[in-house]
Structures are given as C-alpha cells and as structure tokens.
C-alpha cells in the first residue's frame, strides 16, 4: 500500500490538479459572516506594493488593507509566512512565487477562494491561472508573468551580418560564427534553476507530473535530455562563457560584447538596463528561437501570485483586493514602473509603460515581443512540492556541468534522484 501523498491540518487528502498534487483545505469562512467593513493584512516585498495598497484603501470603503513588508521569499519571507500559518496568526494575503505555491499547498498553508475567483478566470493569461489553480481550487490571484525571448547584442550581430536566429539550430550556427570571429566572444553564459527551467518549459520537457495519487519526477526524461544535450554540445564546442549569470563578470561581458545573447524572461530587460549601463543602444529583443522552423512555443521564468493563506477570516475581501491589484490599470502601472512587473492580466498589455519605445534598446518597443509571447506559454508545466530543495540541488549539479565537471544530462539525473529520495523521505508517494 502506497503512503498517502499529502498530510495537512491533521487530515489526509490528495488532489490531482492537471499534472500536480497539493494539500486540501476549505475556504475557512462562511462568506455571509464577513463584516461589512473587512480589514485584512498583506505580506509582500515587491517595490510598489505599498503604494498599491494605499491607492486601494483610498478608493474602497468596504475593505481596508494593511501592508507589511517582509524579506523576499527565498531570503526568509517564505519561512516567516509558513511559520505564521502554523502558529495560527498568518495574514490573509502573501506574495508567493508560482514555483513555490505547490509547496505551500502541500503543507496546507493556502485557502481556496474559487467561489470568488472563478468568474475572473478569463481575465488572465492561461498559464498564470493554471499556476494558481490546483484542480477545482483557486488559491490566489496571478500578478505577473515571465514570458521569455531572446535579448541579443545587435552591434555584434550587425558586424557579422547575422539576423536574430529563428531556430535553435540557427542559434548554434551563430554561436560558432561569433566565437570564430573573436575567441573572447560567446553566444551565452550558463543557466541555472528557474532560468534553465524556462528552456525546458519551451521544449515541453516537464519536470513533474502525476500518476494516480503519486508524484512523477521527470527531470531526466527524453524531452529533458534533448534540451540538455543541445546545451552540452555548445559547452563542448567552447561556445559558452564561464561567467555565471548575475555575477559581475556576467554584467561586464554583456557590456563589452563578450556575451552576445541572453535567453531570458521579460524582467531581464530591467536587469540588463540596470547592470549594463554601457550597453545602451547595443541591445535588442527578438522572439525565442524554436526547436523546429515555424513553431511558436514560449518558455516562462518567474511570476508570482497574491495568495490567500489558510485561516483568513475574510476570503471574499482578500480576493477583492488581490484581483484589484492585478487588474487596476493605475495600480499595476505603478508596479510596472517600480518593480518591472509584466502583467498576468490580459487587459493590461497596452499599458503606457509597455507600449512606448525604450531608449536603452534603441527605441524598440520591446514589450510588443513579450505581449505576443505571453499567451503562447504552455499550460502543461507543473512545479513540484519541494522546489526550494530541487532548485538548490539542480544549481549545484548544473554549476559543475557548465564547468566541465560532468554533463547537463547527468545534472538532471542527479537532481531527479535527490528529489525522489526527498519526496519519499517526506512520506509522499512517488511512481517509478
């Protein structure tokens, strides 16, 4: 007999949600019991959230929100949130990344608000709604998303007579030409954790799935080996820079032309602009290269939700604010300005912040590329229930592989083995 897949709040339950599993919990409140004036607390860390709360409170009389800033999730915020839930004194709302939401659900830390949220489903990009919807339950409002594209140094490309590659085969050929013309120049640098996940996502190479009431871990699948082997070939050809992403050497390489492309999410525009001042006017954005000519698949890296936490006494009010912050044009415009967020809400793709030409990118309207990409992100991707550990194990293994100590395929197999072992250790059922 297999072990139960999730234990939450003293009860055992399992829930299939497409390709994932999560803990079950009720909405914790009878909507009829909510007071006419509801006061809720919201924990988060994104720049601009405090201003959005202030604007909401100034325009609403039935709901008032208190915003409390906490450390970013991976720097202590998530643990603080979980500890508060366990202690029974958690806020109603918290900022939770899509990749972490299944872990929260598995620990019984979330509250279902489907009865209030479902009428708004069509307002959001399909992949983002999937990220907050587990089976027939909805645990929060999508805020932003991270569709991917190709950032490329148009100065280097122009000098060599190259056009943005439409396929990964063209990308590989360009890598060879670039390095042959200058041995100090490389097509890319190593990818880790969620940036690498975006490459797998585009290829349909999922990491997690479900088999009956058991988790399936598929990091080492044939589809994932295809992606791994492709990048391993670039490593063997000496076409990948040794500069780790986000290291100072990476920023230096982007600025002096030694690293010629970044395959990254929409928020990378802000990273490049902020860290590569001397690259202004040299960079441009094009659609993500495809595995086959004419295909139109997009990866995703990043994005978060305003999640409703277990124990919230005013779930209707919590949803009202969460939905408002994700869809109000002025409020989200502030988040776009201050935090560089790209909206999950379909109606916000024409915000002024997303339609103007960007001087850094030579006046290109770069968000047009991402606006076209966002609806094409597959809804088939599922995050696992222990992503913090999975990502850490993957980073360790990938770091060695990019440095030539092992292979990328081997890194995925190692991570899969460690993830399966940890899931079993936690009493979760895993299918072989």
Q: Where do the domains of the chain lie?
A: 7-145+303-348, 148-300+381-425
The string over 77-109, giving b where at least 16 C-beta atoms fall within 10 Å of a residue's C-beta and e elsewhere, is bbeebbebbeeeebbbbbbbbbbbbbbbbbbbb
Domain 148-300+381-425: homologous superfamily in CATH: Periplasmic binding protein-like II (3.40.190.10)
Q: How many CB atoms lie within 10 A of CB 356?
A: 12
Please list the ranges in the chain whose pLDDT falls under 50.
1-35
Do domains 7-145+303-348 and 148-300+381-425 share one topology? The answer is: yes
Residue 35: its pLDDT value, please?
A: 46
Q: Could you give the angle at the alpha carbon of 399 between the alpha carbons of 95 and 208, nearest 5°?
A: 50
Model pTM above 0.85: yes
Q: Could you give the angle at the alpha carbon of 392 between the alpha carbons of 93 and 395, nearest 5°?
A: 130
CA distances to 225, 390, 393, 405 from 408, in Å: 8, 15, 13, 10
Give domain 7-145+303-348's CATH number out of 3.40.190.10, 2.40.50.140, 1.10.3720.10, 1.20.1440.230: 3.40.190.10
Residue 134: its pLDDT value, please?
A: 86
Q: Could you give the angle at the alpha carbon of 96 between the alpha carbons of 133 and 331, nearest 5°?
A: 95
Q: Could you tell me how far CA 13 lies from the centroid of its own chain?
A: 27
Structure token pair of residue 104: 């929260």
Residue 212: its pLDDT value, please?
A: 79
Residue 301: its pLDDT value, please?
A: 97
Find all residues with CB under 8 Å of 157, minimum gap 6, and list them: 163, 164, 174, 260
DSSP 8-class letter at 124: B
Residue 210: its pLDDT value, please?
A: 77
Kindly compute the dihedral angle of the four CA atoms of residues 118, 120, 125, 129, in this order, to the nearest 10 degrees: -30
Looking at the DSSP bridge assignments, the partners of residue 148 are 265
Q: Could you tell me how far CA 379 lies from the centroid of its own chain?
A: 13
DSSP codes joined into one string, 399-431: HHHHTTSS-HHHHHHHHHHHHHHHHHHTT--B-
Q: Could you give the angle at the alpha carbon of 327 between the alpha carbons of 22 and 303, nearest 5°?
A: 45
User: What SS3 class is residue 59?
Assistant: helix
Residue 33: its pLDDT value, please?
A: 45
């Amino acid at each position: 007999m297999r072990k139960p897949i999730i234990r939450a709040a003293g009860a055992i339950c399992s829930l299939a949600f497409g390709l994932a599993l999560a803990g079950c919990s009720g909405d914790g409140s009878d909507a009829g019991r909510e007071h006419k004036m509801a006061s809720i607390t919201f924990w988060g860390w994104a720049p601009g959230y405090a201003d959005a709360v202030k604007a909401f409170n100034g325009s609403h009389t039935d709901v008032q929100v208190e915003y409390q800033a906490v450390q970013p999730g991976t720097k202590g915020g998530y643990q603080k949130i979980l500890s508060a839930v366990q202690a029974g004194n958690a806020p109603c709302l918290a900022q939770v990344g899509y990749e972490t939401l299944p872990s929260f659900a598995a620990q019984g830390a979330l509250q279902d608000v489907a009865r209030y949220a479902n009428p708004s489903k069509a307002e959001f990009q399909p992949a983002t709604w999937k990220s907050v919807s587990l089976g027939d339950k909805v645990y929060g409002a999508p805020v932003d998303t991270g569709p991917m594209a190709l950032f490329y140094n148009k100065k280097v490309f122009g000098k060599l007579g190259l056009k943005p590659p439409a396929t990964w085969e063209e990308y590989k050929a360009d890598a060879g030409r670039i390095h042959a013309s200058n041995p100090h120049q490389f097509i890319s640098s190593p990818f880790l954790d969620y940036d690498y996940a975006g490459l797998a996502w585009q290829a349909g190479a999922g990491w997690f799935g479900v088999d009956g009431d058991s988790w399936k871990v598929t990091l080492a699948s044939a589809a994932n080996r295809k992606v791994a082997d492709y990048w391993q070939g670039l490593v063997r050809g000496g076409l990948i820079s040794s500069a780790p992403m986000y290291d100072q050497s990476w920023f230096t390489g982007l600025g002096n032309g030694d690293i010629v492309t970044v395959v990254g999410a929409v928020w990378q525009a802000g990273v490049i602009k902020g860290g590569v001042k001397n690259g202004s006017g040299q960079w441009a954005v094009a659609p993500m290269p495809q595995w086959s000519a004419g295909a139109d698949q997009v990866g995703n890296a990043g994005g978060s939700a305003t999640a409703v936490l277990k124990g919230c006494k005013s779930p209707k009010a919590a949803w009202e604010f969460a939905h408002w912050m994700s869809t109000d044009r002025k409020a989200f415009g502030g988040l776009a300005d201050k935090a560089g967020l790209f909206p999950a809400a379909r109606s916000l793709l024409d915000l002024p912040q997303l339609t103007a030409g960007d001087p850094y990118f030579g006046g290109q309207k770069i968000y047009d590329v991402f606006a076209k990409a966002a609806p094409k992100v597959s809804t088939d991707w599922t995050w696992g229930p222990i992503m913090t550990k999975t990502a850490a194990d993957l980073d360790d293994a990938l770091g060695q592989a990019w440095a030539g100590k092992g292979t990328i395929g081997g890194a995925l197999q190692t991570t899969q083995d460690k993830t399966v072992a940890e899931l079993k250790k936690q009493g979760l059922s895993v299918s072989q």
